[in-house]
Amino acid sequence: MPKLTVIPHPDVCPDGAVIEDAPQGESICRVLLDHQIEIEHACELSCACTTCHVIVRTGFDSLEEATDSEEDMLDRAWGLSTLSRLSCQAIISDEDLTIEIPRYTINHAKENH
């Protein structure tokens, strides 16, 4: 199984993480959540927000191409990069991945409280 490395994030994963057994066919977001890395996911993994935005620093080309719906949502993400994906839509393949969780997210539900 591929390895998923998370670059340290001050709030979500301060020490970073290495998930040695990331299952192929599972979304990056689901794997993070299953390993107690509490990435935001306001739309419950339905590709309806940008809170689970990640930057795939290595292994980007192993992921299936983003759908038009995902691309439309990514256009709204803070800190967009050419290596950006919604982690709820990025399905792990057979290569190791290194991801960065951006410092900020746009979470309208949270901001309205």
pLDDT for 107 equals: 58
Residues 26-75 pLDDT 10s: 999 999 999 999 999 999 999 999 999 999 999 999 999 999 999 999 99
Number of domains in the chain: 1
Which structural domain range is residue 17 located in? 4-111
User: How far from chain centre, in Å, is Cα 1?
Assistant: 18
CATH number at residue 17: 3.10.20.30
**pTM of the complete model:** 0.91
Calculate the alpha carbon distances from 31 to 72, 82, 86, 108, 113 in Å: 24, 22, 13, 24, 28
